[in-house]
Amino acid sequence: MNKRIDLHMHSLFSDGELLPSELARRAHVLGHDTIAITDHIDSSNVGVIPNLIHAIEDINDNWDINVLPGAEITHAPVEAIDKLARKARELGAKIVVVHGETLHEPVIEGTNSVAVNCADVDILAHPGLINKDDVEIAKKNDVALEISGRKGHSLTNGHVAKLGVEVGVNLVIDTDSHSPDDLITFQEAKLIGLGSGLTEREVMKALVESPKRIIKKRR
């Protein structure tokens, strides 16, 4: 039986509703093998990452779920993204996500282009109507693009999936969970992938192979 890997979630360390331990517990009950807690950061709070790591250590030492510390660079000036990604990595973030140019929020134009050129970025989340040039750069620089399970951000899943498959970039299916209701099972994640236009084989790659590859890369 396949278990979920979700590399984009939020806790009370930013705007999520749950403590890291409750988030991990709920994910475990729903059949998750691995989650990354990627709370929103900019220069004002990047220093929260060590506190998140302390909470995660208690979980990993005692429960049968793997929790990775991460960060999501969110609405930061594009000029600061590379610096923030590097700092997050130095502070112990294993998964670095950039909040892409979703149609659902007024993200600064150019965020996608900077993110896919950053060596410390693993995932460009909900990248909206990303252009083909940036998708090709993402492939070259090994930055995965996200198919989102979150309301609003999911509006362009079909566009992202189509370009992603055409170019051959790695895709991942994440929830961007902020509340208990955002968490989903493996089967529900599979349906999101199929609904975006991916084949069953492509969905399985996005759910299993691509996230495992990211985790292995950042060990």
86-122 pLDDT per residue, tens = 999 999 999 999 999 999 999 999 999 999 999 999 9
pLDDT recorded at residue 172: 98
- Residue 125: is its pLDDT beyond 90? yes
Q: What integer pLDDT is reported at residue 1 of this predicted model?
A: 74
Task: Please give the tally of structural domains in the chain.
Answer: 1
| pLDDT value at residue 65 | 98
Please give the pLDDT value at position 92: 98
> What's the pLDDT score for residue 123?
99
Cα separation, 44 vs 127, in Å, equals 24
Cβ 207 vs Cβ 31: under 8 Å: no
Say what percent of the chain tops pLDDT 70.
100
Task: Kindly calculate the radius of gyration of the chain based on its CA atoms and give it in whole angstroms.
Answer: 16
Residue-number span of the structural domain to which 15 is assigned: 4-217
What does the pLDDT look like over 50-64, one tens digit per residue?
999 999 999 999 999
pLDDT tens for each residue of 138-186 = 999 999 999 999 999 999 999 999 999 999 999 999 999 999 999 999 9
H helices of 74-171, where?
Answer: 81-90, 111-115, 132-140, 157-167
* Spatial CA neighbour of 141 closest among 182, 181, 169: 169
- Averaged confidence pLDDT in the chain: 98
Query: Would you call 70 helix, strand, or coil by DSSP?
Result: strand
| Segment 16-66, tens digit of pLDDT | 999 999 999 999 999 999 999 999 999 999 999 999 999 999 999 999 999
Q: What pLDDT shows up at residue 201?
A: 98
DSSP letter for each residue of 84-106: HHHHHHHTT-SEEEEE---TTTT
CATH number at residue 56: 3.20.20.140
Q: What is the pLDDT of residue 192?
A: 98
Whether 219 shows a pLDDT value over 90: the answer reads no
The band of 213, judged by pLDDT with boundaries at 50, 70 and 90, is very high
Rounded to the nearest 5°, which phi and psi values hold at 182? -80, -20
